[in-house]
Amino acid sequence: MIMRRFIVILGAIAAAVVLAAPPASAGSPHFVTVSASSSGSSLTVSGKEAGLGNESQVHIVVSATALCVNKGGNHPSAENKGSFSADGTFPVQNGKANFSLTIFATISPPCSPPMTLTWTNITVTDTTNGISTGV
């Protein structure tokens, strides 16, 4: 009789522990690929994020600095630079999301030959999950 009570109590405790445990999160968000390409005054950043679990969408923000650089690789004027960003919301399918965002630089005075527009400090952030990566 005592042994039977012990088993019943032990079973009740085990059931309480299982029911009280928080549900496991299926997601472990991370960037799989991120790449950037520039053309003229635009910068396009594309990538793939995985480990998104049951989310329906993610919000991605791309930020970067555009500046004019001379043939010597120097940035001669602090006026010829600016910070730019673009953002978008992308659907999640099977725990993955593909994204592509384009930033357009409008700096004044504009870069004129022999100077060229260069992008630096490129960052991709998933604001839904609070993760970032540099490009």
DSSP state of 43: E
Can you read off the two tokens belonging to residue 57? Answer: 């969408």
Contact (Cβ atoms closer than 8 angstroms) between residue 57 and residue 29: no
Tell me the mean pLDDT in the region 107-117: 84
Q: For tokens 């540099």, name the residue.
A: 134
Contact (Cβ atoms closer than 8 angstroms) between residue 27 and residue 41: no
Q: In the beta sheet, which residues pair with residue 100?
A: 46
Contact (Cβ atoms closer than 8 angstroms) between residue 101 and residue 87: yes
Per-residue pLDDT reduced to its tens digit, 23-32: 434 579 999 9
Task: Work out the pLDDT band at 112, boundaries 50, 70, 90.
Answer: confident
Can you read off the two tokens belonging to residue 99? Answer: 């994204």
Type and span of the H or E element at 15 = helix 2-20
Q: Out of 1.10.10, 1.10.3470, 2.60.40, 2.30.30, which CATH number does the structure's domain 26-134 have?
A: 2.60.40
pLDDT (0 to 100) of residue 27: 77
Q: Say what the pTM is.
A: 0.76
